[in-house]
Amino acid sequence: MIHNDPESARTKEVHDIYATLLAEYAGIQRDFKKPEEYVCFLYCRLELDRIQADIEDWLRAQFEELGKAFDSIPNPNQLFSDNALKRYYQYFKNS
């Protein structure tokens, strides 16, 4: 799936912005190059493309809403799902 990604540059942008926000919110630097980790960014990209969301807005919403609710940061596998979509809309509802 990763090798056949028609939007691989945009998927990499999702990864890179997530890494930047991870450093900003938690002071953590990690590389998510293993396929089982990186595919999460592809799924995330598909989700935000589906609703035409801005990458940084989508990712920042995940960090903000999980931080408020659980005092935690999102793992890559939490960046796409019905709950991620709810966090995105909740973030803008509260803004």
pLDDT, tens only, 36-69 = 999 999 999 999 999 999 999 999 999 999 999 9
Distance of alpha carbon 34 from alpha carbon 15, whole angstroms: 12
Q: Establish how many alpha carbons lie within 13 A of residue 52's alpha carbon, considering only the half-sphere containing its beta carbon.
A: 0
Per-residue pLDDT, 37: 95
Look up the pTM and report it. Answer: 0.95
DSSP code of residue 4: T
The token pair at 27 is: 């002071």
Helix (H, G, I), strand (E, B) or coil at 87: helix
Return the sign of the alpha-carbon dihedral for residues 88, 62, 21, 94: positive
